[in-house]
Amino acid sequence: MKNSCWTMEKIEKIIKINRRKPEKEKIEAAAQIIKKGGIVVFPTETVYGIGASAFNERAIKRLYKIKGRPLDNPSIIHIARKKDIYDIADISKKDKEIIEKLVKKFWPGPLTLVVKNKKIPAAATAGLDTVAVRMPANKIALELIKRSGPIAAPSANISGKPSGTSIEMLKELAEKVDLIINGGESKIGLESTVFDIRTKKILRPGKISPEQLSKILKEKVTKIKKILKKPRSPGMKYKHYSPDAKVIVLFGSKNKIEKFIEKMINKKFRIGAILLKKIKIKDEKVNIKFVKNLDDYAKNLFKFFRKFDEMKCDVIICEGVKEKGIGHAIMDRFKKASEKLIKLK
Ligand code: TXA
Ligand code: MG
């Protein structure tokens, strides 16, 4: 039986919405669910979010339970108008200048700003005095939030697993939430860049790169150093984005990568590989997905992780990339998901 009990058409709580021209009555129905304290999975340009009203602590607690998310990991608050950040956050004159520059350039889009909290309840912020805010670049998300008010939404996945970038990846959540909006495949495929306005550090790399932020702010913006005792971004201390298979990240020439994979085949491993270089290996033990460029890599990474898990691969071999542009975000996810980064000599 193909894909056993997961027949999407049969589950009424999944509705398909046109992402170019969202049907108003469908969006309104979804917004009503949020307003009444329900939980809705919705698309954004980065990954799918699992959302509840940012002001409903009970709904947020239920959401955390569904995801299996630790309560001390705060959620991003999604807004539909740029100016709404001033409503939910306490912003100094100095910070306002920085925010205005960033928001003008990058919103709506994959940039989350960590600012001082004013109004968001502790269930969503994990009791921190800060709050993470983002305006997504997805018509369905924006229409939904306009009608429901701000939405607290972590990525749609069981905690620790790769985020969902299409509804085929949301099986585990389907039974537990009140509605899933199918808005097609996520355009970017990796989560937003999280940027702390106070320290001007990147807490989580995403599509908006350190280079882009540095250019707009006219100063060098860097990523926060790895795992601190008391992490500034609470999510940093948890295991993330991990498929069940062991992930190995390789750097090296076409020839060396080929040799490495051949060795793994001899060890009788079932292998999934995601590569930029067009190597030529044909063996039933290895399934290779080639990606065209870094954006294509980002877009498909979590989908391929999931596919390889479904195929019961033992190892997933990924070609490492340069930490430049979206390469920072790809390597960040690798460092969190993988056991080994290998430079083939
Ligand atoms: O693209 C995205 O950001 C997606 C879509 C749905 O918008 N959302 C997402 O949410 O990835 P989540 O919860 O999986 O990741 C949010 C990250 C976590 O690492 C969390 O620790 C961090 O943002 N974060 C949230 N609030 C924070 C705060 N006040 N200070 C520091 N980090 C915060
Ligand atoms: Mg997440």
Q: Is the pLDDT of residue 343 over 90?
A: no
| pLDDT interval class at 337 (50, 70, 90) | confident
**Which of 75, 119, 336 should be mutated for ligand 1, with most atoms under 8 A from CB?**
75
The encoded tokens of residue 54 equal 């940012």
Give the count of beta carbons closer than 10 Å to the beta carbon of residue 2.
5
Instruction: Please give the distance of CA 153 from its chain centroid, rounded to a whole number.
Output: 11
Residue 241, phi then psi, degrees to nearest 5: 55, 25
Nearest C-alpha neighbor of 344 from the set 205, 238, 229, 250: 250
Give me the helices (H) in 20-81, please: 24-35, 57-67
| Local confidence band at 4 (pLDDT 50, 70, 90 cut-offs) | very low
Query: Closest ligand 1 atom to the C-alpha of 188?
Result: 1
Alpha carbon distance 261, 154 (integer Å): 36
Question: Length of the chain, please?
Answer: 345
Q: What angle in degrees, to the nearest 10, is found between the helix axes of 327-337 and 294-310?
A: 20
Among candidate residues 187, 146, 169, the one with its CA nearest the CA of residue 34: 146
SS3 content of the chain, % helix, strand, coil (to 5): 35, 20, 45
Quick one: pLDDT band at residue 234, thresholds 50, 70, 90? low
Residue 50 alpha carbon, nearest atom of ligand 1:
6
Question: What tokens were used for 127?
Answer: 């009791």
Which of the given ranges, 8-22, 116-130, 234-248, has the highest pLDDT on average?
116-130
- Residue 304 neighbours by CB under 8 Å, 6+ apart: 272, 274, 289, 316
Whether ligand 1 lies within 6 angstroms of the CB of 186 is answered as no
Q: With a threshold of 0.85, does the pTM exceed it?
A: yes
Q: Residue 235: what pLDDT?
A: 61
Nearest ligand by distance to the CA of 48:
1
Average pLDDT of the chain to the nearest whole number: 92
Determine the average pLDDT of the residues in 258-285: 92
Q: In whole angstroms, what is the distance from residue 57 CA to residue 152 CA?
A: 10
Q: Does ligand 1 lie within 6 Å of residue 73's CB atom?
A: yes
Enumerate residues 6+ apart whose C-beta is below 8 A from 263.
none
Ligand 1 within 6 A of CB of 189 = no
Over residues 151-170, the mean pLDDT reads: 95
> What residues does 40 pair with on adjacent strands?
51, 179
Partners of 112 in the beta sheet?
A: 194
- Compute the distance between CA of residue 145 and CA of residue 177 in angstroms, rounded to an integer: 18
Query: Would you say residue 232 has pLDDT above 90?
Result: no
Side-chain-side CA neighbours of 153 within 13 Å: the count stands at: 34
- Maximum CA extent, the chain: 63
* Residue 218 confidence (pLDDT): 97
DSSP state of 147: H
Index of the ligand 1 atom closest to the CA of residue 153: 6
Q: What is the three-class DSSP state of 236?
A: helix
The sheet with strand 271-275 has its strands ordered as 286-290, 271-275, 315-319, 246-251, 340-343
Nearest-ligand number for the alpha carbon of 43: 1
**232-244 mean pLDDT:** 69
Q: What is the pLDDT of residue 2?
A: 42
Considering only CA atoms, which of 209, 170, 147 is closest in space to residue 6? 170
- Torsion angles phi and psi, residue 28, rounded to 5: -60, -40
The pLDDT of 332-343, averaged and rounded, is: 87
Q: What pLDDT score does 312 carry?
A: 95
Q: Does 5 have pLDDT greater than 70?
A: no
Q: What is the DSSP letter of 167?
A: G
Residue 229 confidence (pLDDT) above 60: no
Q: What is the pLDDT of residue 241?
A: 73
Work out which ligand 1 atom sits closest to the CA atom of 157: 14
Closest C-alpha to 133, from 190, 89, 98: 89
Which residue in 288, 333, 332, 34 sits closest to 157, CA to CA?
333
Closest C-alpha to ligand 1, atom 3: 192
Q: Please state, as a whole number, how many other Cβ atoms lie within 10 Å of the Cβ of residue 220.
A: 10
